[in-house]
Amino acid sequence: MEYRKLPHGEEQISIIGMGSSVIGEQSEGDIIETVQFALDAGINFFDMAGGHASIFSAYGKALQGRRKDAMLQVHFGANYTTGSYGWTTNLDTVKKSVEWQLERLKTDYIDFGFIHCLDEESDLNAYEKNGILDYLMNMKTQGVVSHIGLSTHAPKMANNILDKNIIDMLMFSINPMYDYGQGDYAIGSDSERQKLYRRCEKEGIGISVMKPFNAGQLLDADRSPFHKAMTTAQCIQYALDKPGVLTVLGGPGNVRQLKDILSYFDTTSEERDYSFISALTPDESVGKCVYCKHCHPCPAGLDIGLINKYYDLATQGDSLAKEHYLTLKKTAADCIGCGHCNRRCPFKVQQMERMGEIKNYFGK
Ligand code: SF4
Ligand code: SF4
């Protein structure tokens, strides 16, 4: 397992986390087995916005004696007290549901308390007006909640909450379909979405990625808009390459599916290469680097994807990215102008010319 540090904290978060959208369809024994398999594999980040209320008692049993090995994302606004999932902005219902969840999880603290699934301005208004945001903030003051997060599919809502400066983590739907304007949750243009990822990186907000495979659609050539199946490793790499991303939440239904997700670590960089999706690049995004590294290796030894990521972040005011760039062994100044990257880039980036621009910007 690999880990990435939460910028607003000390937590080291596994780059592959576990979502719980479908695991609740299984028997309690199978859920326990899957969660324990995940823990044994080094997964330490679990999202609890499941489709089924049954997951809570099963997770509670799976985590007995191992609670410290897991970080839980618990959603304030998801109601399970009826025995199935429901969405609510009623304060009493939220309180009851959070208590209900903690009791079954056999825990008295929440690592990440999430503002749950706000996609509309009116949802946020109700959330605030009904006192749910205050309740969540109070839980943080009392030490019950360690960090506050937000789950949304809409860049506009994410930006609204980021403006309030209260969250440390954003749960956002990221996959090439959504970024390129395809599918139900393709909310916001590609550039708006990329800008959000960069803002998160700059402000130290970690992103936990939901829907990395778009419920399997991207893994199926017949249903994918690319008319070619991506692999789980390609989808995971796509999400991990986005600025701000700390963890990608697959939603395995059993141990076999979890093993498939974890086989990412057995793949080569060629097997993770997702650059064929350039076929779907919208006009506005042609010529923009997506940090995919398909143009590697550079004969001069430059990490072209990383150099571009630091450049894009630095030009948006991320001083940390500038520092990181300046410590690189090979910088844009080492480019020998061979043109290999221009010929290899499927996204039509004029990378050789861009290296000159980058060198001028950083002065090296
Ligand atoms: S220049 Fe092209 S191939 Fe290279 S990292 Fe950027 S998008 Fe990928
Ligand atoms: S043009 Fe520069 S950055 Fe591109 S492959 Fe050649 S040396 Fe590397």
Residue 157 tokens read as 């809502």
Q: What CATH number did the domain enclosing 251 receive?
A: 3.20.20.100
Helical packing angle, 351-362 and 304-315, nearest 10°? 50
Instruction: State which of 245, 278, 311 marks the end of a domain.
Output: 278
Q: Is 173 in the pocket of ligand 1 (CB under 6 A)?
A: no
Which pLDDT belongs to residue 133? 94
Q: Give me the number of domains the chain comprises.
A: 2
Q: Are residues 152 and 234 in the same domain?
A: yes
Q: Are residues 258 and 313 in the same domain?
A: no
Q: Are residues 262 and 298 in the same domain?
A: no
Residue 73's domain spans which residues?
A: 3-278
CA distance 134 to 151: 17
Instruction: State which of 278, 313, 341 marks the end of a domain.
Output: 278
Closest Cα to atom 6, ligand 1: which residue? 289
Q: How far is the CA of 306 from the centre of ligand 1 (A)?
A: 10
Q: How far is the CA of 51 from the centre of ligand 1 (A)?
A: 37
271-329 pLDDT per residue, tens: 999 999 998 888 888 899 999 999 999 999 999 999 999 999 999 888 889 999 999 99
CA distance 292 to 341: 12
Which pLDDT belongs to residue 86? 87
Helical packing angle, 255-262 and 28-40, nearest 10°? 20
Phi, psi of 154 (to 5 degrees): -110, 120
Which pLDDT belongs to residue 13? 98
Is the overall model pTM greater than 0.75, yes or no?
yes
Q: Are residues 239 and 292 in the same domain?
A: no
Q: Are residues 245 and 352 in the same domain?
A: no
Q: Are residues 92 and 12 in the same domain?
A: yes
Q: Are residues 259 and 160 in the same domain?
A: yes
Q: Are 47 and 73 in contact (CB under 8 A)?
A: yes
Residue 9 has a CB neighbour count (10 Å cut-off) of: 16
Q: Is 345 in the pocket of ligand 1 (CB under 6 A)?
A: yes
Which pLDDT belongs to residue 269? 93
Q: Measure CA 228 to chain center.
A: 23
Q: Is 293 in the pocket of ligand 1 (CB under 6 A)?
A: yes
**Which residues of the chain carry a pLDDT beneath 50?**
none
Q: Are residues 219 and 332 in the same domain?
A: no
CA distance 32 to 26: 10
Q: Are residues 358 and 230 in the same domain?
A: no
Which pLDDT belongs to residue 319? 86
Q: Give the residue ranges of DSSP H helices in the chain.
A: 28-40, 55-62, 91-105, 121-129, 132-141, 155-164, 176-179, 190-203, 232-240, 255-262, 269-272, 304-315, 319-326, 340-344, 351-362
Q: How far is the CA of 298 from the centre of ligand 2 (A)?
A: 5
Which pLDDT belongs to residue 182? 84
- The residue written with tokens 């618990």 in the block is 74
